[in-house]
Amino acid sequence: MSHPNLYILAADNPSAVLSHLRSDSSRASCQDEHGYSLLHAAASYGHIDLLRALVQEFHVDPNLTDEDNETCLFVTEQLEIAKCLVEELGVDAKHKNDEGFTAQEMIESEGSFMDIAAYLGEATGNTRSEAQLQPPPPLPHNISVNLGTMSQQDVDGEAGEVDPEFRRRIAELAAREDFHTEAGQNQLRALVTDALRGVGAQTQDRDSSTLR
């Protein structure tokens, strides 16, 4: 007797899947040639009762991964399902796939189901504001930032000695391992803002002196 394809059956008849599993529970943890499992199918199609039964009744590992090292959380399209997976069934929201991305990061990169991304951010403490997710505004056309090696003469320039505290902040930022991450780039933007304010203040002073 041939067995039905439970992955296809899970799309619109989760109760039939449960009936088959209660006759042959060994199929609960089965995966196809791509690592696709009933957990992935139930999460994708939004069948919360099937998900609960797979983990709680048939003891399927909730962190079962496919060939891309992605758990069923990566294919979730409903907030209720995401909450069930994380809060009830113990799916690791910080798990990373083969590319080094969490489910939250994959969802954000695709630009869909942002309510799930926001929830996962809160669950993992990796919350980011909308402003942080947007690229920084361009610098004025007459201002450029050179991240290469600078000589002391370049640093000091014609304006005279650079404030030692500002120079220390530049050196400290350049030495950080997370310089190219979002946090490092935020610090860079803050330094650039400080520099622009300093230049503006010096220009005003020179203009005032000239007018005198």
Residue 13 belongs to what domain range?
Answer: 6-133
Residue segments in the chain with a per-residue pLDDT below the cut of 50: 1, 129-136, 155, 158-160, 211
Percent of the chain with pLDDT over 90: 53
Are 121 and 20 part of one and the same domain? yes
pTM of the model as a whole: 0.60
DSSP secondary structure string for all residues of the chain:
-PPP-HHHHHHH-HHHHHHHHHH-GGGGG-B-TT--BHHHHHHHHT-HHHHHIIIIIS---TT---TTS--GGGG---HHHHHIIIIIS---TT-B-TTS-BHHHHHHHHT--HHHHHHHHHHHT----HHHHSPPPPPPTT-----S---HHHHH-TT-PPPHHHHHHHHHHHT-TTTTSHHHHHHHHHHHHHHHHHHHHHHHHHHHHHH-
Are 172 and 73 part of one and the same domain? no
Are 127 and 167 part of one and the same domain? no
Q: How many domains does the chain have?
A: 2
pLDDT tens-digit series, residues 183-211: 667 777 777 777 666 655 555 555 555 54
Domain C-terminal end among 68, 103, 133: 133
pLDDT tens-digit series, residues 115-136: 999 999 999 988 754 434 444 4
